Structure 1
Amino acid sequence: MSGPPRDEPTNIVAARLIAENKHPDLRQEERIREAISRLQADVRKIQTEFNELDIALAIIPPDETPEAHLVEQLSQLVLQLSEAKDILADHVNCLARGRQIPVELMEIIFSMTMPPTDYVRPNALRAPLLLCQVCSSWRKVALVTARLWNSLHINPGRRRGTWKGFLESWLGRSGTGPLSLRFEGHQPELGPQPQLYTYFQDHILKIIVEDYSKRWRRLSLDVSAWSLTRLVYTSMPLLETLEVRVPRGSSGVFISSADAPRLRTVSLGAHTIPASVHVAWERLTHLHAASPLDLDQVFPLLAKCEKLTECSIELWRNNHIRSSQSLLPVRMIRLRSLVLSGSIGEDAISVFFENMDLPGLRKLELVNTMREPFGLSPQSPLASLARRSNLRILVLIGGKPLDGLFDTVVSIPSLREEVN
């Protein structure tokens, strides 16, 4: 007759429990705790032997060659110490109460640790890479949680020799869902090996466009004219948001509604004029312009964006209207939120609101970078527009917001207590 089954070695039990994300039963926990005491003693013993031998080799004069068997013995102790620590770590980890958390809940918790940004910069000290370093069970969950890897800030000018493999690894974990990518990189005019830089960046662009453009949902581009032409001329069926800075020397950005049928939000970066960007403006719901524009640029742009619900624009100090006169007034019935910033003193505000019809406007934010009054008064074009649109929220930043504010608010009943 065969005897009772022998207990499995605790290292096998611990490894299996970790792989299955299970907590040990009472018998297993007792055996593992006993094993931990023995393993800790083993680690201390090996560490002591290593320290003694390491010191002995360290005091050998530089002109003498240490004995080969001592060097070999030290190498073996390094391996033994590493293995003993790994086994001890498995025993300790399998007793951790946190490992009982269901995988689905861990995925949600991991997602909440992500940096508060649309585009994640790879950093070993932040999620998601940090999650992969805590323990083997966390690493396994993190690697299969696609939402942790669907965002990436790419700057191939840094650590250029590692980006190709890193991209394939990072985005390969993102599953098949939509991606948010920021591509930043400018070919140096002067510098070492510019041909090598171009060759390398071309490989990165090829990976991004050929393998992932069908999955882009949010795309931010701050690249050279050379790179820009290779990124936007492709089919982007899921693209909803485009943030772009068009550099000098570029022929511009051309994106048809057929290539990007879902594009609804466009942000124009620094030094980017609207004339250099060609998209289906009439389909947009959100527009943001970070580069100062004069009114002759603003009015034609807004006239094309009839479906906008949110808009933010920065104005130049020059407020004269020339070529845009035939387009006025500009009527935007769907616009709910407007942010106007820059040199927006009394003249600019008057000219702008005299030529705008915004019946649906509910929130208006004015950011004045000059120490000038906003020109508020019950008879001002701003107050007149606010009354017609039943404005609910008015935010004034900078300038001299108190000049004429009280009388203006009184003349706009819809503002009530929501004025800031």
Structure 2
Amino acid sequence: MSLLAILSTVLALLDQLPFCDSQEHVTKYHSTNFVPSLEDVQSIRDLISDRETQLASLNSEIFQVDNVMERLRAARTVLVKSRTHVEGSLRSHKTLVSAVRRLPAEIMGEIFIQCLPCEHYIRPRVEDCPLLLTRVCRSWRTIALSVPQLWCSLSVSLQKATGHSSSPYEAWLARAKSLPLSIGVIVDDNDALAGVMKRHQPMNWLRPYITRCRDLWVATTNGNPFCEVLQCTPSLERLQLTGCRLPNEGFVISDTATRLRTLCLRFVGQDVESLATLNPPWARLTDLTLTFSNLSGQSFLRVLQSCPLLERLSLS
């Protein structure tokens, strides 16, 4: 007999249990000093006998129900394990016939590009794209590594890119092949790091990629180590320089930056008059953002006069 049939039988037996109410004629004497007569004593003893019989029957039925429930719990455990196995098998077989397996690598590559973070300069993190895409399966890794658009944006921390530790950054940018690059260079100018930078010259490995930059951001409290960065930037269209102060000798942007149209300078520790130390192609700029500790009306007019093609200007 199945467990469900046993349970049904037990429930049917419970429905047939004789719950006798023959004690009703003495119930009113409970919690009183009533002394039953000989006739009442006999009736009460008959009732006690009935209740003892009923109690024994109930105990027997409860024991049977406990056994059935124990078997049902064991059966449920087995069924849950079987369901988990079937669900896993179902998912596995569904993936074999899923549409994503039949998509060409070119379309998968386009989908991967849409998964990139919204950051302008992508920070390498294994929990984010594109590195995350290389950890799903062998096929996805192959596709991701073959799509240059996934690797043409990078945020570089020079504190982590000194000496041999630059290899992951170089591998990242190498996957971009010949595409124009967007690179953000971040450095904290503390004394210890300055010594490390002087020994390892971190810009050496980065310089070839800077020449391919279409978009470059340099963030530092002291721009001196990066003056040489801007000497050869033929592909540069957008340049951001941020920090507390400009380098002592200023930034000289090479004449090779003929495509530069967007310039953002944020140096909150300096007066706007320090712009005189710069040599950007003012006449070609269409988008200019300036943030300095002090801006005067004359400086504003000089900027307007120097930038005849300017379409957007932000001063603060």
Query: Which TM-score band (shorter chain)?
Result: 0.5 to 0.7
Moved more, 121-130 or 290-299: 290-299
Deviation by residue 1:306-362 (Cα, 9 ceiling, x = unmatched)? 110111111xxxxxxxxxxxxxxxxxxxxxxxxxxxxxxxxxxxxxxxxxxxxxxxx
The structure that has the greater radius of gyration is: 2
1:201-237 deviation digits (Å, cap 9, x = unpaired):
x1x311111x22331100111133332113112x211
State the Cα RMSD in Å: 2.5
* 8 Å Cα contact 2:246-2:267 kept in structure 1: no
User: CA deviation digits over 1:52-85, x for unaligned, max 9?
Assistant: xxxxxxxxxxxxxxxxxxxxxxxxxxxxxxxxxx
Distance 1:111 1:231, change over 3 A: same
Name the counterpart of 1:232.
230
Letter in 2 for 1:120: I
The aligned counterpart of 1:215 is 212
User: Which TM-score applies when normalising by structure 2?
Assistant: 0.63
Pair 155,93 (structure 1): closer, same or farther in 2 beyond 3 Å: farther
Which secondary structure does the structure 2 equivalent of 1:253 belong to?
coil
- Counterpart for residue 267 of structure 2: 270
Q: Residue type matched to 1:289 in 2? A: L
Rounded to whole Å, the distance in 1 between the matches of 2:238 and 2:198 is 27
* Percent of aligned positions that are identical: 29
State the alpha-carbon separation in 1 of the partners of residues 134 and 93 from structure 2.
18
Is the CA contact 1:187–1:197 (under 8 Å) kept in the aligned structure 2? no
Give, in whole Å, the separation in 2 of the partners of 1:288 and 1:241.
11
- AA matched with 1:175: K
**Given residue 306 of structure 2, which amino acid in structure 1 is its aligned partner?**
K
Mapped to 2, the partners of 1:175 and 1:124 lie a distance apart of 21
Q: What's the secondary structure of 1:218's corresponding residue?
A: strand
Distance 1:167 1:99, change over 3 A: same
User: Equivalent residue of 2:204, what SS?
Assistant: helix
Aligned residue-pair number = 219
Q: Which residue of 2 is the match for residue 321 of structure 1? A: none
Are the aligned partners of 2:181 and 2:214 in contact in 1 as well (CA < 8 Å)? yes
CA positional deviation for 1:240: 0.5
Quote how far apart the aligned CAs of 1:136 are: 0.7
TM-score, length-scaled by structure 1: 0.48
Q: How does 1:6-45 map to 2 (within 5 A)?
A: none
Structure 1 residue 266 displacement after superposition: 0.3
User: Does the aligned pair in 2 maintain the 1:187–1:198 contact within 8 Å?
Assistant: no
Amino acid at match of 1:220: W
Q: Is the 8 A contact 2:130 2:151 kept in 1?
A: yes
Q: Distance in 2 between matches of 1:249 and 1:216?
A: 22
* C-alpha distance in structure 2 between counterparts of 1:279 and 1:159, whole Å: 28
**Which is richer in helix?**
2
Distance 1:216 1:280 in 2: 17
1:155 and 2:150 correspond: no
Instruction: Please tell me whether the aligned partners of residues 224 and 247 of structure 2 are also in contact (alpha carbons under 8 angstroms).
Output: no
Matched, 1:186 2:188: yes
Higher RCO by CA contacts (8 Å cutoff, separation 6 or greater): 2
Q: What residue is the counterpart of 1:283 in the other structure?
A: 284
Is 1:128 the equivalent of 2:130?
A: yes
1:137-185 Cα offsets, whole Å, 9 max, x none, are 1100000100000000011214756641112210110010100001111
Give the conservation status (yes or no) of the 8 Å contact 1:179–1:218: yes
CA distance, structure 1, for counterparts of residue 250 and residue 235 of structure 2: 22
Unaligned runs of 5+ in 2: 1-91
2:144 alignment partner, SS class:
helix
How much does 1:249 deviate?
4.4
Is the CA contact 1:114–1:148 (under 8 Å) kept in the aligned structure 2?
yes
Give secondary structure in 2 for the equivalent of 1:266: strand
In structure 1, the residue matched to 2:249 is 251
Q: Within 5 A, what are the aligned runs for 1:15-414?
A: 95=96, 97=98, 98-158=100-160, 160=162, 163-189=165-191, 191=192, 194-200=194-200, 202=201, 204-209=202-207, 211-223=208-220, 224-233=222-231, 235-245=232-242, 247-256=245-254, 258-271=255-268, 273=272, 274-292=275-293, 293-314=295-316
- In structure 2, distance between residues paired with 1:229 and 1:124: 32
* C-alpha distance after superposition, 1:235-272 (max 9, x if no partner): 2111101101263543111114x311111110011326
Q: Which amino acid aligns with 2:199?
A: Y
Residues in 1 aligned to 2:170 and 2:122: alpha-carbon distance in whole angstroms: 16
Residues in 2 aligned to 1:252 and 1:93: alpha-carbon distance in whole angstroms: 62
Q: Distance in 1 between matches of 2:97 and 2:266?
A: 49
